[in-house]
Amino acid sequence: MKLLALASLILGAAVGGNAYGAALTPGIYRIDATSNLTAVLRTEVGPGKRIEERFEHAFPAAAGVTYAVVSRDARYAEPERNRVLFLTADGYKAETELGDRACIAYALPGWNYYSAAEPFCSGEDTLSDRTLASFILRLPPRRRDLDGIHIPPVRTPTQDDRVGCLLGVCDPAAYGKSIERVEVTYRTDRFTLEKVRPYLDIVFLENAVPIFASRERTNNRSELKARTFVAVLDRQSEWFEVDYFEHGNARHGWIDRDDVVPVQWLAQRAATRDFRFRVGVVPGDSDTDAPQPVAIEVLSRHSGQRLQVLRDFESDGRYVLGEEAIDVIDANFDGHPDIAIDGMSGGAGPNSTTNVFLYDPAGRQFRFSRELSELTQLWIDPTTQTVHSAQRGSCCSHYSEVYRYVRGKLTLVSSKDEYTNGEWVSITTGRLRNGKMYYRETRRRSAGD
């Protein structure tokens, strides 16, 4: 692979210090050729045992691994998500070991679950010693029992030796000793950043996908084979700008996102004066899971032409019902209808979210509102032009907030935090006055007492 050497790392950046370790800088990393000898964590030797050590690279020679590709997704501020792909020789197939899934792609922190559609192993433990510009791939050592060694005695046992041996203490000099032998094979490599590339994600292509020289399907095209990984440089609503890897070289192109994940488009009843909508869904992870919404198509109500595609929102589909998935609301009270679709359940119904897309009349586009979409139990009150949010921390903890748009900015105007320990109920209320929140706490006996 022809790569430019890294001239300088991120300006003055310090090693990350959160509980998940440093977030790796996105780019292309190169193996340190001799690190398999120096980056190991040695197995401790127990009494009466001898460890015979072997040192191998994490991947076998047939894999031909010299480079790794790292992406970093900054949409998730804490922690930022990394994905790591090891570039293997064409046609290489990892052999799965007993009890140890062989992976060429990893995700961290440990939010990811391996599946046929997302074949990334959790890399939190496997990719260790992470800094901004290096990491160690450390696979579990292989252990193999070898034939033991018997060391013969050097003298005849005395009476004291016989008594001691009856008590469980046999002098090796008089009786000899056996030593267990264990062969331990360490599989370790360090990878160091060689070229910074702003990869946002690494995407697995389940099916063969056409790749284009630019964002036009009429341009020169070739085809990426099924079960291929690509590194995403730019994530647009209709296109991925990607690097793909052939014969050890990085190549550049564009992929139509409609080709990446085939969806079933469901027409929606909800419409505005200018637009109608379709929701794109994919099957759930199992036969019992509801279809998962992954896209919203905005169509001209008059011509039916596709005007916009909305993607990259999270929705578990639990409450999305066919043609009733989209709601039309004026979420920011500017007189222009916005749209919403259910988000994530959060593991408990009371803490569910809603994905909100606000209409921008100047750009004639719907834009994802992160601040509204992150509010739990969202409720829009058009009568009072207020935005309400609530959440439940436990059986005994409830919290609610009320917002207004002040000069176009979503602003907290009141809150209520109620907590009970079974004997007392503590209530903290907040009110916005003169641009500042003021809080008051009251306590009362629990109604059960």
The rounded distance, in Å, linking the Cα atoms of 69 and 408 is 42
Show the tokens assigned to 345: 């359940």
Question: Is residue 90 left, alpha or beta, with left meaning phi > 0 and alpha meaning psi from -120 to 50?
Answer: beta
Per-residue confidence (pLDDT) for residue 423, from 0 to 100: 81
DSSP secondary-structure letter at 323? Answer: G
Average pLDDT estimate for 406-427: 89
Residues in the chain: 449
The rounded distance, in Å, linking the Cα atoms of 229 and 428 is 51
Question: Is residue 335 left, alpha or beta, with left meaning phi > 0 and alpha meaning psi from -120 to 50?
Answer: left
Cis status, amide bond into 350, omega within 30 of 0: no
Average pLDDT estimate for 1-16: 37
Q: How confident is the model at residue 325 (pLDDT cuts 50, 70, 90)?
A: very high
Least confident window among 116-125, 300-309, 426-435: 116-125
- Tell me what the pLDDT averaged over the chain comes to: 85
Q: Which of 341, 337, 350 is nearest to 316 (CA)?
A: 341
Q: How confident is the model at residue 288 (pLDDT cuts 50, 70, 90)?
A: low
User: What percent of the chain has pLDDT above 90?
Assistant: 53
Element (H, E) at 142: strand 134-151
The rounded distance, in Å, linking the Cα atoms of 366 and 371 is 15
- Helix ranges (H only) for 151-236 are 159-166, 172-175
Least confident window among 142-146, 237-241, 266-270, 433-437: 142-146
The rounded distance, in Å, linking the Cα atoms of 253 and 431 is 53
Per-residue confidence (pLDDT) for residue 160, from 0 to 100: 87
Q: Across the strands, what pairs with 54? A: 185
Least confident window among 61-65, 68-72, 393-397, 415-419: 393-397
Average pLDDT estimate for 205-232: 90
Q: Is the pLDDT of residue 4 over 50?
A: no
**Most confident range, picked from 115-124, 131-140, 340-349:** 131-140
**Most confident range, picked from 88-92, 342-346, 356-360:** 356-360
Per-residue confidence (pLDDT) for residue 349, from 0 to 100: 54
Q: Is the pLDDT of residue 305 over 70?
A: yes
Q: Which of 191, 208, 184, 328 is nearest to 269 (CA)?
A: 328
Q: Is the pLDDT of residue 98 over 60?
A: no
Q: Are 281 and 262 in contact (CB under 8 A)?
A: no
The radius of gyration of the chain from alpha carbons, rounded to an integer in Å, stands at 30
| pLDDT tens, position by position, 19-71 | 456 789 999 999 999 999 988 888 777 776 788 889 999 999 889 999 999 99
